[in-house]
Amino acid sequence: MKFDHYKTDGFYDEMFTADGKPREGASVLVDALEGFSDEEMRRRQQAADVAFLNQGITFTVYGDKEGRERIFPFDIVPRIVPASDWAVLERGLQQRIRALDRFVDDVYHDAHIIKDGVIPEAVVRTSKGFRDQCIGLDPPKGIWCHISGIDFVRDGDGRYYVLEDNLRTPSGVSYVLENREVMKKVLPEIMGRMSIKPVTQYPIQLLETLQHLSGKSDPTVVLLTPGIYNSAYFEHSYLAQKMGIELVEGSDLIVDGGEVKMRTTRGLRRVDVIYRRIDDDFLDPAAFRGDSLLGVRGLMDVYRAGNVALANAPGTGVADDKVVYPYVPSMIEHYLQEKPILPNVPTFVCWDDKQREHVLGNLDKLVVKAANESGGYGMLIGPSASKEEREAFAAKIRDNPRNYIAQPTLALSRVPTRIGNGFEGRHVDLRPYVLNGRSIHVLPGGLTRVALRKGSLVVNSSQGGGSKDTWVLADNGGQ
Partner 1 sequence: MLSRVANAVYWMNRYIERAENVARFVDVNLNLTLDLPEGHADQWEPLVITAGDSLVFKKRFGPATKENVIHFLTFDSVNPNSILSCLRQARENGRSVREIISSEMWQQVNRSYLYLQDAIASGTAIQSPHEFFARVKMDCHLFTGIMDATMSHGEAWHFGRMGRLLERADKTSRLLDVKYFMLLPRPTDVGSAVDDLHWQAVLKSASALEMYRKDRRRRITPWDVADFLILDRQFPRSIRYCVTKAEESLQVIGGKPGRAFHNKAEKRLGRLRSELDYIDLKDVFQKGFHEFLDGIQTEINYVGDGIHDTFFAAITVDETAPVSGGPQ
Per CB under 8 A, residues contacting partner 1 are: 53-56, 66-69, 227-228, 233, 237-238, 240-241, 245-249, 251-252, 254, 256, 262-265, 267-268
Q: Which is nearer to partner 1, 266 or 339 (CB)?
A: 266
Q: Which is nearer to partner 1, 179 or 316 (CB)?
A: 179
Q: What is the distance between the terminal CA atoms of the chain, rounded to a whole angstrom?
A: 22
Residue 247 CB, shortest distance to partner 1, in Å, is 5
What DSSP assignment string belongs to 392-419? HHHHHHHH-GGGEEEEEPP---EEEEEE
Residue 262 CB, shortest distance to partner 1, in Å, is 6
Q: Which is nearer to partner 1, 120 or 227 (CB)?
A: 227
Smallest Cα–Cα separation from 425: which of 1, 2, 14? Answer: 14
Q: Which is nearer to partner 1, 254 or 336 (CB)?
A: 254
Strand partners, 415: 426
DSSP character for 196?
B
Q: Which is nearer to partner 1, 65 or 354 (CB)?
A: 65
Residue 228 CB, shortest distance to partner 1, in Å, is 5
At a CB cut-off of 8 Å and minimum separation 6, what does 407 contact? 345, 346, 347, 348, 366, 367, 369
Residue 465 CB, shortest distance to partner 1, in Å, is 24
Residue 462 CB, shortest distance to partner 1, in Å, is 21
Residue 246 CB, shortest distance to partner 1, in Å, is 6
Are residues 29 and 187 in contact, defined by beta-carbon separation less than 8 angstroms?
no
Q: Which is nearer to partner 1, 51 or 328 (CB)?
A: 51
Which helix (H) or strand (E) segment holds residue 27: the answer is helix 27-35
Residue 298 CB, shortest distance to partner 1, in Å, is 12
Q: Which is nearer to partner 1, 58 or 195 (CB)?
A: 58
Q: Which is nearer to partner 1, 162 or 296 (CB)?
A: 296
Smallest Cα–Cα separation from 172: which of 460, 473, 413, 464? Answer: 460
Residue 205 CB, shortest distance to partner 1, in Å, is 18
Smallest Cα–Cα separation from 33: which of 419, 423, 427, 414? Answer: 423
Distance, in Å, from the CA atom of 412 to the CA atom of 68, rounded to the nearest integer, reads: 34
| Inter-axis angle of helices 387-399 and 353-361, nearest 10 | 170
Q: Which is nearer to partner 1, 175 or 348 (CB)?
A: 175
Strand partners, 58: 71
What is the distance of C-alpha 62 from the center of its chain?
25
What DSSP assignment string belongs to 60-77? EPTT-TT--EEEPPEEEE
Tell me whether residue 47 is exposed, middle or buried, using C-beta atoms within 10 angstroms of its C-beta: 0 to 12, 13 to 18, 19 or more.
middle
Q: Which is nearer to partner 1, 50 or 87 (CB)?
A: 50
Tell me whether residue 284 is exposed, middle or buried, using C-beta atoms within 10 angstroms of its C-beta: 0 to 12, 13 to 18, 19 or more.
buried
Residue 257 CB, shortest distance to partner 1, in Å, is 12
Residue 254 CB, shortest distance to partner 1, in Å, is 6
Amino acid at 96: R
